[in-house]
Structure 1
Amino acid sequence: MTASRTHRPGATAWLMLVRCEAKMVMRDTAGLIVPVGLPLLILAMSASTASTETVVNERTVLEVFVLPLVIAIVVATIGLVNMPSFLAYYRLSGILRRLSVTPASPAMMLVGQVVVGAVQTLLGVGAALLAAFSFFGARPPVDPFAAVGVFALVMGAMYAVGMIVAAIAPTPNAAVAIGLVAFFALGACGGLFGSPDALPDPVAQVGGWLPFGASVEALSAAWAGTAIAPANLIGLAAAIGVGAAVAATVFRWDRS
């Protein structure tokens, strides 16, 4: 008797899934526009004065502070709000549960959402950089390799925290609410509403360890060509580890 073989989805199935995820994201008008439009608005409002003031290594406030903040906003919005809301919807509607009894694992949906989110993040960051370089005279980072490495860590950290949101949110609306609370809470400690120097010293120190503040500070150092604080790198790596561990423990593919 010949043993039945389990057919695993091939490259065509993966491509089709990613394409479907992209269509879902494109239909979400707010989720498509806000991660790009809000950072561009902040950039446009700040660039006129920030592009003329030099702070370190002949780099301007625009390059050292505004651009890192804008990049962190793009990644955090998509990682903490958009992705969890989609995953919560898929769980609530039973899509993930139905996938679990097919050759396609629910994890494929997660991977597809991460891929589409990463592409959206790159487009959002690319649009912000293009506007800054073309219209406001911004320059690339002094240490581009460090900037790319930090950016990869930033994406991993924000998506890991987003997975925690997706794990604990019972509905898509709850995922959006929890994601926004996490976004503003982390942002408030990391310079979203002004320089961390204006915060109480304990809050500013904690903010440098949390994902948003660590993202802004590490990207700022890479842009200025200065040493990246170990606390920033440790904080981002810890967020990835903790987020992955919590999500793996708490996340459920169905509502039960």
Structure 2
Amino acid sequence: MSATAKLTAVESKLLVREPGSLFTVVIPLFVLIVFGSSIGPDDTTLLPMTIAIAIGLVGLYLMPTALATYREKGILRRLSTTPVRPASLLVVQLILQFVLALASCGALLAVAGTVLGARLPANALTFIAVFVLGTASMFAIGLLIAALAPSGRAANGIGVLLYFPMAYLAGLMQPVSQMPAILVRIGEFTPLGAFRQSLQDVWEGTAPDPVLLGVMAAYAVVVSIAAARFFRWE
């Protein structure tokens, strides 16, 4: 087994044992089941909301905390003296976090489709494209948090402080129909808001707004470049 394969196996075990991994799956499922039981199968808002909640938790909470903790404890520095380069750990972490995001999304779709009888997206390719773009934009912000935070605890705090205002503006705490129009418009220019609205467009059978897709792409590219620029190995 290669060094990278061994690293992947170890990191997978650590991720599974991390309580935060369970929360990123359970919390969106809890919201879906509690509210989905009182919403009809034709609803097009709840599933996009819960998927956005799941990706937001992984991108803003779990991933930056893990990466900042590795740097704080000197793990990245020590890896530089082994055959496994520090960059390999970052790549493995990103892949595993993306797999976790997929698992959370898959659980939501499975429960919604089989237990709640909810509508699933008719255009699978468009859904996949929006999901990947939205996840990339949220992961980019998580990488920037990890790059700037001096410790895992600080990364956790920054992620939480960013998540709640962003979640509110994105319409994850209350339906956008009950929010002031100006806040809804501002929320659409956040990565989480653009993601949630694009997902809802997919569920409603319409093409996502190209402007919102551009917002997510811009965050994914620009913030990732900033994260790479400021990231410190130790």
Shorter-chain TM-score range: over 0.9
Note if 1:133 corresponds to 2:133. no
Note if 1:173 corresponds to 2:162. no
* Partners of 1:37 and 1:95 in 2: CA distance: 29
Instruction: Answer whether contact 1:18 1:115 (CA < 8 A) is retained.
Output: no
Larger Rg computed on CA atoms: 1
Equivalent residue number for residue 33 of structure 2? 44
* Partners of 1:199 and 1:252 in 2: CA distance: 40
Q: Size of the alignment, in residue pairs?
A: 234
Equivalent residue number for residue 153 of structure 1? 133
Could you list the per-position Cα deviations for residues 182-224 of structure 1 after superposition, in whole angstroms to 9, with x for gaps in the alignment?
1112111100111223223222112112111111111111121
Instruction: Answer whether contact 1:209 1:231 (CA < 8 A) is retained.
Output: no
Equivalent residue number for residue 226 of structure 2? 246
Equivalent residue number for residue 7 of structure 2? 17
Equivalent residue number for residue 91 of structure 2? 111
* Partners of 1:209 and 1:143 in 2: CA distance: 24
Equivalent residue number for residue 197 of structure 2? 217
- Unpaired segments ≥5 residues, structure 1: 1-10, 53-59
* Partners of 1:15 and 1:155 in 2: CA distance: 24
SS in 1 for 2:130: helix
Equivalent residue number for residue 103 of structure 2? 123
Aligned pair partner of 2:21 in 9, 24, 32: 32
- Unpaired segments ≥5 residues, structure 2: none
Instruction: Answer whether contact 1:84 1:176 (CA < 8 A) is retained.
Output: yes
Could you list the per-position Cα deviations for residues 142-171 of structure 1 after superposition, in whole angstroms to 9, with x for gaps in the alignment?
211100100010111111010011011111
Instruction: Answer whether contact 1:42 1:70 (CA < 8 A) is retained.
Output: yes
TM-score between the two structures when normalised by the length of structure 1: 0.87
Instruction: Answer whether contact 1:85 1:173 (CA < 8 A) is retained.
Output: yes
TM-score between the two structures when normalised by the length of structure 2: 0.95
Equivalent residue number for residue 66 of structure 2? 86
SS in 2 for 1:227: coil
Instruction: Answer whether contact 1:86 1:172 (CA < 8 A) is retained.
Output: yes
Equivalent residue number for residue 165 of structure 2? 185
SS in 1 for 2:2: helix
